[in-house]
Amino acid sequence: MTHLCSTGGAVAPPAARLSRQALDMQIARRHAPLADLEREMIAACEAAVHGTRARPNTGFQHKHRNRTAGRQYLAAAIRLEATYASRMRLLRREIGQLERLIILSIPA
């Protein structure tokens, strides 16, 4: 649909303004799967280091690791990049775009 401007020309309709609450909800909808992917990747890296003894959600704690375990963890993270990285980057990019929309929608 087009609108007529005061000079008689046609212009596109004004963009629908998203509410802050709607943007916050969209951001939250992306943070949840991002956190899930991060937890899955950490658990997979821990499993690569500890085998079946992996403890989910413990994270990589440097004070409890030796060099060999650290190398195993990093090697697993590199292998798993193909599985997780593209989805994680997409979610982070979408979150960033939504956060910029919030900044742009603040009245000056």
Residue type, 96: G
In this prediction, residue 98 has a pLDDT band, given cuts at 50, 70 and 90, of very high
Q: What is the pLDDT of residue 99?
A: 94
Are 55 and 46 within 8 A, CB to CB? Answer: yes
Query: So where are the chain's domains?
Result: 18-105
Distance CA(73)–CA(51), nearest Å, equals: 11
Q: What is the pLDDT of residue 67?
A: 87
Percent of the chain residues topping a pLDDT of 70? 69
Average pLDDT estimate for 84-92: 96
With 90 as the cut, is the pLDDT of residue 108 above it?
A: no
Average pLDDT, the chain: 81
Smallest CA-to-CA distance from 91 within 10, 8, 27 is with: 27
